[in-house]
């Protein structure tokens, strides 16, 4: 194997990414080397491309970016057990520490020392990725690489959707981006009664209706209260999944929930947002902030659901060879796409 590879690199402190030659990573005794087959473009990657304030404060330059991937193991560290050469896999992109109370208690997703591949450490937009064996998630034969490449965002959707009991409940999802659409599909799959998803982007609402058995609502032209009435809902939604990061969407969700309702909050508003806490207090609403995936409970859950009939393949709308990565990023930035997958083979 050559010691050089192609990689998408944040090579300059300015907008863009650059396809460059880079050294193939050297692995340690507890690592594996993964040959990348497919990668997904994430909203985080768009922030890094745009080189916004968050990216400038967070991402070291130069850095190989990307954290959504599927591939196969081509090298194994000498202390690694339970994995095999040629094994197909995805993996958890959060690299955890081992000394915090949360990590030592097995609550790995809450470890404050977490670092992200493609954000703080070299990532998966490359022909090869070094990853701790602990982070590897083997892929069953019935989950193709392009689905394996979007398990990271699906994990965000699953973590959010399963934050509260959904069986027989009425669920409101605000934000019809790819993760919101997948969360809506998960809610229906696990037994929610009505699932309504709201947005202002009609193209993404149309995609939501194609991917999942949900009711899309364009809040610029439709009245959410009328939708509730049409569904014969008497008291409001039981659970809200806020995926948009939009303050107006959160305000509308609070108003639409039942007394004692629950909100799982994945969307991140830009900067500080005014919140009418009196409405939340007087309605006795529980809010849970969601970050990433529960390591590794979420991975087990989502793989089981995919093997049990959850179909989110329709959320992938664009596929490009890595040489056309600029078109892939343009599709993501257009607001007219679902997930965009790059092919490294």
Tell me, rounded to whole angstroms, the distance of Cα 130 from its chain centroid: 21
The verdict on whether 44 is a catalytic residue reads yes
The neighbour count for residue 152, using CB atoms within 10 Å, is 27
Taking CA atoms, 324 is separated from 50, 70, 133, 330, in Å, by 18, 19, 31, 10
For residue 78, the 8-state DSSP code is: T
Extract the tokens encoding 75: 């090298």
The verdict on whether 99 is a catalytic residue reads no
Are residues 345 and 324 in contact, defined by beta-carbon separation less than 8 angstroms? Answer: no
Distance CA(39)–CA(1), nearest Å, equals: 21
- The residue with tokens 């965000």 is 156
- At 261, which helix (H) or strand (E)? strand 257-265
Catalytic residue among 2, 39, 44, 318: 44
Are residues 153 and 182 in contact, defined by beta-carbon separation less than 8 angstroms? Answer: yes
Are residues 192 and 167 in contact, defined by beta-carbon separation less than 8 angstroms? Answer: yes
- The residue with tokens 């005014």 is 274
Extract the tokens encoding 223: 């009245």
What DSSP string describes 180-244?
Answer: HHHHHHHHHHTT-S-EEEEES-HHHHHHHHHHSS-EEEETTTS-HHHHHHHTT-SS-EEEEEE-S
Q: Which of 115, 21, 129 is nearest to 69 (CA)?
A: 129
- By the 10 Å C-beta count (0-12 exposed, 13-18 middle, 19+ buried), 336 is classed as middle
Measured on CA atoms in the order 123, 125, 126, 127, is the torsion positive or negative? positive
What are the residue numbers of the active site? 44, 47
């Amino acid at each position: 194997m050559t010691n050089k590879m192609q990689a998408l690199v944040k090579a300059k402190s300015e907008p863009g990414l650059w396809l460059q030659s880079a050294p193939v990573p050297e692995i340690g005794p507890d690592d594996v080397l993964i040959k990348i087959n497919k990668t997904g473009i994430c909203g985080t990657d768009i922030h890094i491309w745009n080189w916004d304030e968050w990216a400038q404060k967070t991402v070291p330059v130069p850095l190989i970016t990307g954290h959504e991937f599927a591939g196969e193991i081509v090298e194994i560290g000498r202390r690694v057990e339970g994995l095999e050469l040629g094994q197909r896999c995805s993996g958890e992109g959060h690299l955890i520490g081992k000394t915090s109370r949360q990590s030592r208690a097995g609550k790995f997703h809450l470890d404050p020392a977490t670092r992200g591949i493609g954000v703080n450490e070299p990532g998966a937009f490359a022909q090869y990725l070094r990853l701790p064996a602990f982070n590897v998630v083997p892929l069953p034969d019935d989950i193709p690489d392009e689905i394996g490449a979007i398990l990271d965002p699906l994990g965000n959707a699953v973590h959010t959707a399963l934050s509260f009991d959904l069986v027989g409940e009425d669920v409101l999802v605000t934000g019809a981006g790819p993760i919101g659409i997948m969360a809506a599909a998960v809610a229906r799959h696990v037994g929610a009664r009505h699932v309504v998803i709201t947005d202002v982007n009609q193209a993404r609402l149309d995609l939501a209706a194609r991917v999942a058995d949900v009711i899309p609502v364009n809040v610029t032209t439709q009245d959410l209260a009328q939708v509730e009435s049409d569904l014969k809902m008497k008291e409001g939604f039981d659970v809200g999944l806020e995926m948009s990061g939009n303050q107006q969407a959160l305000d509308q969700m609070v108003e639409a929930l039942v007394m004692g309702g629950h909100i799982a909050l994945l969307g991140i508003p830009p900067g500080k947002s005014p919140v009418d806490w009196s409405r939340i207090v007087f309605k006795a609403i529980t809010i849970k902030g969601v970050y990433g995936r529960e390591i590794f409970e979420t991975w087990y859950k989502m793989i089981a659901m995919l093997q049990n009939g959850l179909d989110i393949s329709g959320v992938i709308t664009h596929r490009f060879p890595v040489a056309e990565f600029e078109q892939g990023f343009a599709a993501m930035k257009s607001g007219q796409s679902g997930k965009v997958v790059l092919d490294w083979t």
